[in-house]
Amino acid sequence: MHHAEDKLIDSEDFYEKGKILDEYFFYHHPSSPFSVDPEVPTKIKDLIDEADGCKKQNFLVGASGALRKAIYEFLLEQKVEGGNYEEKIKALKAKHPKAQEEIFDALAGVQSLASDALHEDELGSWEPWKSKDFDYVMQVAKAAMYEVYTAPKKSKDWLLKINSMKDGNKKK
């Protein structure tokens, strides 16, 4: 039963006012349960979101490729030296000595999974990551990014808060 104040929405109303419903439904999606920390650079965050979006659609090849690219972009952004992936991870550990080194060890450990899963063998066949492998690599990558981008900022924020409280107590 419709009331007088209820009005059916005519699609022409939206086009005339410049509002297209697709923009609301398709481009505004809820955040991922694997949300990316705001401190992570946009380029890397976008790749993580793309990987997560592909995973939600069960597009594991796309998810694997986007996540792998996010890891390599992360290493590029960190400007770590090294001839290969493992050397770059070692340099990343040296650059961030206060970080949990086991996380970087785990990131080093995903290299074989990432490389083997995305390169063709001599027969031209390869398997995309399995869902559980993708979830593992995603968690490792996010943990490493947390250690690099977020944890130091949180520690610095705590230190500033402590120092301001300490200074406030001295004035009394």
Structure tokens belonging to residue 150: 């977020």
8 in a structural domain = no
Contact 86, 108 (CB under 8 A): yes
Contact 47, 53 (CB under 8 A): no
pLDDT in tens, 80-102: 998 888 899 999 999 999 888 89
126 in a structural domain = yes
- Number of domains composing the chain: 1
25 in a structural domain = no
Whole domain around residue 136: which residue ranges? Answer: 38-151
Q: What pLDDT is recorded for position 116?
A: 41
Residue ranges in the chain whose pLDDT is less than 70 = 1-36, 112-128, 168-172
Q: What pLDDT is recorded for position 129?
A: 75
29 in a structural domain = no
Look-up of token digits 């995603």: 138
* 144 half-sphere exposure, CB direction, 13 A CA radius: 30
Q: What pLDDT is recorded for position 51?
A: 94
Contact 46, 116 (CB under 8 A): no
Q: Which long-range contacts (CB under 8 A, 24 or more apart) does 54-58 make?
A: 55/131, 55/134, 55/138
6 in a structural domain = no
Q: What pLDDT is recorded for position 113?
A: 60
110 in a structural domain = yes
Q: What pLDDT is recorded for position 50?
A: 93
2 in a structural domain = no
27 in a structural domain = no
